[in-house]
Amino acid sequence: MRIGFSESLEQLEAALQEEGDLVLRALRSALNALARGDSELADEVVAFDDEIDRRYFRIEEGVQSLLARQTPVAIDLRLVLAVLRVNLHLERMADYCVTVAKLTKLMGDLDVADEAILRSIEDMGQRAEQMIRVALDAFANRDVDKAESLTELDELIDRANRRASEDLLSLDDSPDEREYGLRMLVVSRCVERIGDHAVDIGEQVAYLVTGEFREFTDASHPAPQT
């Protein structure tokens, strides 16, 4: 019976890593669509979210089934709870990718494209991708040091977000540029929030290893609800 429980946990962790790979794919596609103004690729990102949602619900159902059959304690219980929380963080990352894709489609109505702003967003996106990979690797290897390194990477995203915001505020005051600026501010915020969720996953790694939940930063990352 215990072997079956361990195997179920391993399957859930493997499914979580697969979901993370899909989120990375969605993020890269959303950023490419934005850079190219590619509405068709943006549509693919929106449609692809259905697959990520299916993975999300499959993991949720797997956890529910596991808890119905077993009563995990100590480290096993922490792992089950961490899987639930990481699953939610990944799903929310994917939702932000959808928002970027939808905003990309709306950009097609505007005759504006600022290269400096797009470069800042691309820089943020590359760092967000790196953070997702680091977070998932830290979770897989129970590596608290690697998880804590996410705060430094997150600060780099925050700096790029501030640069993008400054560039957006310097746009001319035409109706199209105001609208472009507002939409790109939301895009920038979406990518920044993806980085925040990666930090949240890192916090789950520390919780899993130590049994104590602590925030890596003072106020940016609220503790997930249980």
Q: Say what the pLDDT of residue 224 is.
A: 41
C-alpha 101: how far from chain center = 15
Q: Are 147 and 198 in contact (CB under 8 A)?
A: no
| pLDDT at position 225 over 90 | no
Q: Is 102 exposed, middle or buried (0-12, 13-18, 19+ CB in 10 A)?
A: middle
Whether pTM > 0.85 for this model: the answer is: yes
Q: Are 185 and 168 in contact (CB under 8 A)?
A: yes
Confidence of residue 112 (pLDDT cuts 50, 70, 90): low
> Is the alpha carbon torsion for 45, 48, 50, 56 positive or negative?
negative
Q: How far, in Å, CA of 202 to CA of 77, rounded?
A: 18
pLDDT digit string, tens, across residues 170-198:
777 778 778 888 888 999 999 999 999 99
Q: How far, in Å, CA of 31 to CA of 203, rounded?
A: 26
Q: Say what the pLDDT of residue 1 is.
A: 43
Q: Say what the pLDDT of residue 222 is.
A: 43
Q: Are 202 and 148 in contact (CB under 8 A)?
A: yes
Confidence of residue 111 (pLDDT cuts 50, 70, 90): low
Confidence of residue 73 (pLDDT cuts 50, 70, 90): confident
Question: Region 56-85: what's the mean pLDDT?
Answer: 91
- Per-chain mean pLDDT for the chain: 89
Q: How far, in Å, CA of 12 to CA of 24, rounded?
A: 19
pLDDT digit string, tens, across residues 27-39:
999 999 999 999 9
Q: Say what the pLDDT of residue 161 is.
A: 87
